[in-house]
Amino acid sequence: MLITLLKFLDPVVIFCFQLHDVASDFIAKNFSLIKRTLLVVAYISLFWILFPAMRRDFGQYAETMLLGILFLSPLSKIFRIRLLSQLMGLRRQFGILMGCFALVHGVSYFVDPTSFSLDIAPYLNRNFFSMYPLFYFGILSLILVLPLLLTSNALSLRFLGGKRWKVLHRIVYVLLLTMLLHIFFIKSGRRGYAVTEMIQPLLIVSGYILLKVLAWKNFLPFLRDAIVYVGVRYDQYIAVKNESTSSDGLSS
């Protein structure tokens, strides 16, 4: 039934192939420039620490980028398409960008006198765990971001070695949990904890676990069939495209 649906939607599938090739070709031609641009944007974004009014936006940017980085890996293994592989090659730069966005979000609470006096200062001489969970998990997330950000470079990789570097960067899974808890308490507020607010983080964690399992072993027949069909259809699309290009070349 799924294959029948894909055949029915063939014009949409072809349009997706065209979009994929345009994006993939652009990345391939400008790969080094895109890497440098991402780093420049990341470091320039740090100046926004001086503008605390933007901190919520940067928190949302960091959240979106972290989820994108984490979900990209299993998705690239499941679907094995060129565009996802190219994005995997940019994952370190995306990580640095995410880390800088998270720094802007977190550090601005310490820079802004009003936020510092209301949300941070009252707990400096008290038990850290007495802090509202909203700020507790926010600070934990900020602390976890720092080693990831500081070691997202080739020098750290050589110094630590591949195995230790990978072990260190598994902190990202803990960061995911603290970030989701931080968001949960933001949405719940100080009025209390609503069970319904747990739906989104549970869906995110469940979806990520499912993708990791599928990347290890695709146990869904309809997904396997769809991937095979799209792969065959893409090869046909490329063959027709190359034939058309050759014909145009001969006619000219």
Name the helix (H) or strand (E) containing 9: none
Output the pLDDT for position 129: 66
Dihedral pair phi/psi, residue 131, rounded to 5°: -65, 150
Report the mean per-residue pLDDT for the chain: 87
| CA dist., res. 73 & res. 231, Å (int) | 19
Output the pLDDT for position 241: 84
pLDDT less than 50: residues of the chain: none
| CA dist., res. 145 & res. 63, Å (int) | 12
HEC secondary structure over 92-125:
HHHHHHHHHHHHHHHHHHHHCHHHHHHHHHHHCC
Output the pLDDT for position 96: 96
Output the pLDDT for position 247: 62
The pairs formed by 40-49 with CB atoms below 8 angstroms and a separation of 24 or more are: 41/97, 42/93, 42/96, 42/97, 42/99, 42/100, 42/101, 43/100, 45/97, 45/100, 45/101, 45/104, 46/100, 46/103, 46/104, 48/104, 48/108, 49/103, 49/104, 49/107, 49/108, 49/111
| CA dist., res. 151 & res. 161, Å (int) | 11
Output the pLDDT for position 54: 85
What ranges in the chain are assigned the alpha helix state H? 2-8, 10-29, 31-45, 55-79, 82-88, 91-111, 113-115, 133-150, 154-160, 162-168, 171-188, 199-216, 221-251
Output the pLDDT for position 210: 96
Output the pLDDT for position 249: 55
| CA dist., res. 64 & res. 10, Å (int) | 31
> Rg of the Cα trace of the chain?
22
Query: By the 8 A CB rule, do 3 and 225 touch?
Result: yes
| CA dist., res. 177 & res. 20, Å (int) | 32
Which amino acid appears at position 234 of this protein?
Answer: Y
For the stretch 157-171, pLDDT in tens is 888 888 899 999 999
Sequence-separated (6 or more) residues with CB below 8 Å from residue 27: 34, 83, 86, 87, 90
For the stretch 2-22, pLDDT in tens is 667 767 778 888 999 999 999
Output the pLDDT for position 113: 82
